[in-house]
Amino acid sequence: MSAKIIDGKKFAAHLADNIKGEILQWVTDGHRAPGLAVVIVGDDPASQVYVSKKIKMCEQVGISSSLHRFSADTGQQELIELIDQLNQDPKIDGILVQLPLPGGLNEEQITERIDPKKDVDGLHPYNLGRLAAQSPLLRPCTPRGVMTLLENINVDLAGAHAVVIGASNLVGRPMALELLRARCTVTICHSRTRDLPKQVGQADILVVAVGQAGLIKGEWIKPGSVVIDVGTNRSEAGHLIGDVEFEAARHRAAWITPVPGGVGPMTVITLMQNTLQAARNLS
Ligand code: NAP
């Protein structure tokens, strides 16, 4: 068997065209363009790349973006004051603070300071709680992007056994909640999980979000399954690679996402969807 490739890059480009059209209509109807404020602290190279992709996509689809750059030694209070100001700004519909923040800053306090109505990353406890309570408003971008990919390949989720590897607030936990909401039977694995190969072998739908290159061996994959690799790691040669042994896994899975070009572009496009959603909700 050779898996079909889930081309997130191509699908995200298609969605970008749709959102561009929706925003054009929104503006034609007399609204201002949705506004997204992006906050970046420090000079982590990966964060710089992610932020520039987000800003570029805003330009492409017609979202008005503003970038707030801070040095790594910025104090907590300065960021809190900026968030308060953005919360009050009537031209801003979405606020995104690029994570992780440099050590010394309290991420939790900053995330919770964002007005949940402008929380386009969907990471405020209010929005995570809404997802847990099965009435989501703004949903975390990467898990929502994965759900959009799964819907697009028409896989039958109800009753499927979904195994999520990784339990972070950013990806693993909300991913498990999304899959549960789609009526999967969900197993969540983390660093203390016993017998990872056995858990992986049970997965009809496998979502991996750990950040360890090649952690998931191809031979563990259940034949005919759907494999979604969220992990992004740098190989020794400097290439972007996932958490799953792609070449071995593609001979067992029915569907598989590549890295790069799988989940990453979906995260960015989902941020655009969330920003438009926030603008609609706020108007
Ligand atoms: P994180 O906060 O470091 O969480 C990693 C999770 O993996 C934790 O729950 C950890 O368990 C678990 N884990 C660690 N070692 C494990 C092992 N040996 N077996 C099973 N689970 C293990 O990372 P994150 O922020 O969720 O990100 C995960 C990966 O996704 C990273 O590579 C990141 O770059 C990538 N990512 C990609 C996108 C995208 O758009 N493509 C978006 C976000 C993140 P404990 O809870 O026990 O510590």
Centre of ligand 1 from the C-alpha of residue 221, in Å: 19
Residues 6+ apart with CB under 8 A from 204: 160, 161, 162, 222, 224, 225, 226
Taking a C-beta distance cutoff of 8 angstroms, is the pair 209, 230 a contact? Answer: yes
Cis peptide before 260, with omega less than 30 degrees from 0? yes
Amino acid (one-letter) located at 261: G
Residue 44: the pLDDT is 93
Q: Which atom of ligand 1 is nearest to the CA of 215?
A: 18
For the chain, state the CA radius of gyration.
Answer: 19
Ligand 1 pocket, residue 146 CB under 6 Å: no
- Please name the residue whose Cα sits nearest to atom 39 of ligand 1: 264
Of 80, 95, 177, nearest to 128 (Cα)? 177
Best residue among 9, 11, 173, 190 to mutate for probing ligand 1, ranked by most atoms within 8 Å of CB: 190
**Half-sphere exposure at residue 14, Cβ-oriented, CA atoms within 13 angstroms:** 8
Residue 1: the pLDDT is 74
For the record, the structure tokens of 114 come out as 């964002």
Task: Tell me which DSSP letter residue 139 carries.
Answer: P
For the record, the structure tokens of 110 come out as 């900053």
Taking a C-beta distance cutoff of 8 angstroms, is the pair 260, 10 a contact? Answer: no
* Catalytic residue IDs: 54, 98, 121
Task: Report in angstroms the alpha-carbon separations of 101 from 106, 114, 138, 160.
Answer: 8, 15, 22, 36
Ligand 1 pocket, residue 171 CB under 6 Å: yes
Residues across the chain = 283
- Which pLDDT tens digits describe the chain residue by residue (283 residues)? 799 999 999 999 999 999 999 999 999 999 999 999 999 999 999 999 999 999 999 999 999 999 999 999 999 999 999 999 999 999 999 999 999 999 999 999 999 999 999 999 999 999 999 999 999 999 999 999 999 999 999 999 999 999 999 999 999 999 999 999 999 999 999 999 999 999 999 999 999 999 999 999 999 999 999 999 999 999 999 999 999 999 999 999 999 999 999 999 999 999 999 999 999 999 9
Amino acid (one-letter) located at 209: A
